[in-house]
Structure 1
Amino acid sequence: MDPKGTDQTEACSRHVCVNNPHLELLTDDVLYHFDLATGTHDLTAMFGDVKFVCVGGSAWRMKSFIEYIAAELNMEDPEGHYPNLCAGTDRYAMYKVGPVLSVSHGIGVSSISVMLNELIKLLHYAHCTDVKVIRIGTSGGIGLEPGTVVITKQAVDPTFRPQFEQLVLGKPVVRSTDLDQGLAEELLQCNEELSQFRAVMGITMCAMDFYEGQARLDGAFCSFTEKEKLEYLQKAHEAGVCNIEMESTVFAAMCKLSGLQAAVVCVTLLDRLQGDQLSSSHEVLQQHSKRAQTLVGCYIKKQLKAKSGHD
């Protein structure tokens, strides 16, 4: 395991940490994929009040989320105008309402890794404190009814190990994928208070691609039989894996290194033990997809209400 991970997290405390001495040599750090930079933007003025960052795959979904949370917090723009703060690039989209930042990350480990590097630096340069980061997404369930929301208690790789391995200078670096258990428990409690749909806490497996990496039979290539597929998914189920997606391990690892409280909340759109392709109607899928944002919205609203009560 990366020995710096735990020490770095403890040292960060309330602040968002970076661990790169080379950044001190930069007179202007360009966050290229956000079209933001320390030399051209007052990041503290723009983002210093951020307390909640919600990230998800598509730009459309994250705009939908910011519109939803604006209504929940009574911060709606009367003209319905929520500008994309990364409008100068087509890589990611970013929206902000009050203390809530909503950012798209694309699909897969590589895409979210690029976004997180720049997001973590942005939050650091903006001097943000006590930030919570929540990934909102969709996933394939294992042994769960479609529409079930999974709050991740541990992210694991395709061999069911709680780690993220990356090659750095050609050498493997292995990092922990621990998520904030207190935050996960608070989210589960919010779901009990909502009582609108089922949510469970469980292990999430992060795959490196959508098809063979997730034991699908319907890709352009397939090197295994249906029997082998079901044996693998059953083994995952026995290991406690509740759902499969494509970002959780690197998300957990990078947030932990930065001292960020982090959670993953994904709704299941199908049970992979029953098939590989989505069979529900578009309307049902849309309804299910909104469940994760409903739960996270409830949590944010509850946290801000509690904070205002203490002020």
Structure 2
Amino acid sequence: MASPGAETKKPEHHSGFVQLCNPHVAAMKEDVLYHFSLSTSTHDFPAMFGDVKFVCVGGSPSRMKAFIKYVAVELGLGQPDADYPNICEGTDRYAMFKVGPVLSVSHGMGIPSIAIMLHELIKLLYHARCSDVTIIRIGTSGGIGLEPGSVVITGQAVDACFKPEFELMVLGKRVVRSTHMDEQLVQELARCSADLGKFPTVVGHTMCTLDFYEGQGRLDGALCCYTEKDKQEYLQAAYAAGIRNIEMEASVFSAMCNACGLRAAVVCVTLLNRLEGDQISSPHEVLVEYQQRPQQLVGHFIKKCLAEA
């Protein structure tokens, strides 16, 4: 097994500029960010992205466009009816929007999709010579022991065995990386939620799985080899271990950001309590309001940070 210690060593950040854990990139004459439809030979990254201080990522393009429109109004940088072009319009893989120092990027669903996006996003920030960047994932999740609509700020990302690590295969070898979260950032976000006072918010462990159905112990997939009793025992054990929600991106997100020295956090709203069922039953308009809660919290956080700068 590859040494976890070697994998979790962060790059030197004397200047505050975003760094990579890959010495090969600096020697490349051109770096094509294929899934963004951007290239260092055809785009001026420092001019386009050099002022970015906050990056928010989430699953769907429509959600991330809604976020950039919301935060533009919050920061006084745009009107509610303003439109924001998709910087990645040359591809249908991801969508990217920008206003002022805020970049909003979609990442799709699951570990492979967000991992590809993060490789290219971190390189984009590096090529743009960005400094002191905070990156936050906003999204939805299944809650454990929480009422629907509760917001969970991830204190620790864990895998399906409740371990705070992310495992992947590199050149046929098992590599394990730490999923440590930035504790100071977690507390700053918790204070911002308290300032808002609009919705219940908790700090808890987030379990990241490889699958939406069997991997999360659902009984309603095409395959199922366990009972309701088995499911309840597993979810109760997760709750006892401090896990308060389940999603499909937090472990690789925290591992990659941690390895590259990026200040990162995960803020997700719960759409249901998994101890009480597997399928989402809230009306559409209620779900829409729930999904706005993480963006309200993160928008307030960004506004507060800029006001104090």
Q: With structure 2 as the length reference, what TM-score do the two structures score?
A: 0.97
Distance 1:99 1:5 in 2: 30
Cα RMSD (Å) of the superposition? 1.2
Q: Give, in angstroms, the shift of residue 2 of structure 1.
A: 2.5
> 1:8 Cα deviation (Å)?
2.2
Map 1:196-215; keep pairs closer than 5 Å. 196-215=198-217
CA-CA distance at 1:164 after TM superposition: 0.1
Q: What's 2:169 paired with?
A: 167
Q: Which blocks of at least 5 consecutive residues in structure 1 are unaligned?
A: none
Cα deviation code 1:261-282 (max 9, x no counterpart) = 0000000000000000011100
> What residue number does 2:152 align with?
150
Shift of residue 12, structure 1, vs aligned partner: 6.4
Match of 1:141 in 2: 143
AA in 2 matched with 1:117:
H
Candidates 58, 65, 71, aligned match of 1:69: 71
The letter of the residue matching 2:99 is: V
Partner Cα separation in structure 2 for residue 126 and residue 223 of structure 1 = 49
Show the 5 A alignment for 1:56-135.
56-76=58-78, 80-135=82-137
TM superposition shift of 1:7: 3.3
**1:195 counterpart letter in structure 2:** G
Segments of 4+ moved more than 2 angstroms: 1-13
Q: Among 230, 236, 239, which residue is 1:234 paired with?
A: 236
Q: Determine if the alignment matches structure 1 residue 304 to structure 2 residue 306.
A: yes
Residue 85 (structure 1) shift:
0.2
Letter in 1 for 2:52: V
Q: Alignment identity in percent? A: 62
- The aligned counterpart of 2:24 is 22
**1:221 partner amino acid:** L
Q: Which whole-Å deviations, capped at 9, do the CAs of 1:208-258 have from their partners, x for residues lacking one?
A: 010000000001111111110111001101101000000000000000111
Match in the other structure for 1:187: 189
Deviation at 1:115, TM superposition (A): 0.1
Question: 1:16-55 counterparts in 2 under 5 A?
Answer: 16-55=18-57
In the alignment, the residues of structure 1 paired with residue 237 and residue 22 of structure 2 have an alpha-carbon distance, to the nearest angstrom, of 39
**Which range is displaced more, 151-160 or 218-227?**
218-227
Q: Which runs of 5+ in 2 are unaligned?
A: none
TM norm structure 1: 0.96
- The Cα shift of 1:22 comes to 2.0
The whole-number CA distance in structure 2 between the counterparts of 1:80 and 1:43 is 24
